[in-house]
């Protein structure tokens, strides 16, 4: 019998693709959010790579974000989101690779 191990848990979106070893230690944050504009507009958070899904129970979208640089703490993320006019809702989950 062949066992199949999924590449990611089925309840989480596929992680951002990174190949350098420095980024492998950075967490990816997943959370629902209220956006500053329509979900159809690109979501830009300076210093962070953002993926968005227009599916959320509490807000406008579910976001998956990872720091582009060294500032990757949850406090850094909240400051960057606030500056971009985005409000995180509910728990912000960190996933380490």
> Which stretch, 14-18, 32-36, 54-58, 69-73, has highest mean pLDDT?
32-36
Helix (H) / strand (E) element for 76: namely helix 74-84
The Cα 69–Cα 84 span in angstroms is 17
Across all residues in the chain, what is the average pLDDT?
A: 79
What single-letter DSSP state applies at residue 12?
S
**Amino acid 19: pLDDT:** 44
**Greater confidence, 16 or 79?**
79
Which tokens sit at 26?
Answer: 């950075």
20-61: per-residue pLDDT in tens? Answer: 445 567 899 999 999 988 888 889 999 999 999 998 888 999
Burial readout 64-87 (b: 16 or more C-beta within 10 A, e: otherwise): bbbbeeeebeeeebeebbeebebb
For the entire predicted model, the pTM comes to 0.71
């Amino acid at each position: 019998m062949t066992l199949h191990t999924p590449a990611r848990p089925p309840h989480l979106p596929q992680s951002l693709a990174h190949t350098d070893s420095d980024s492998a230690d950075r967490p990816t944050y997943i959370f629902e959010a209220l956006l500053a504009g329509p979900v159809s507009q690109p979501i830009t958070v300076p210093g962070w790579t953002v993926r968005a899904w227009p599916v959320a129970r509490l807000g406008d979208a579910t976001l998956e974000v990872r720091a582009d640089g060294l500032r990757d703490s949850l406090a850094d993320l909240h400051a960057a989101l606030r500056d971009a006019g985005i409000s995180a809702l509910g728990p912000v989950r960190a996933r380490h690779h």
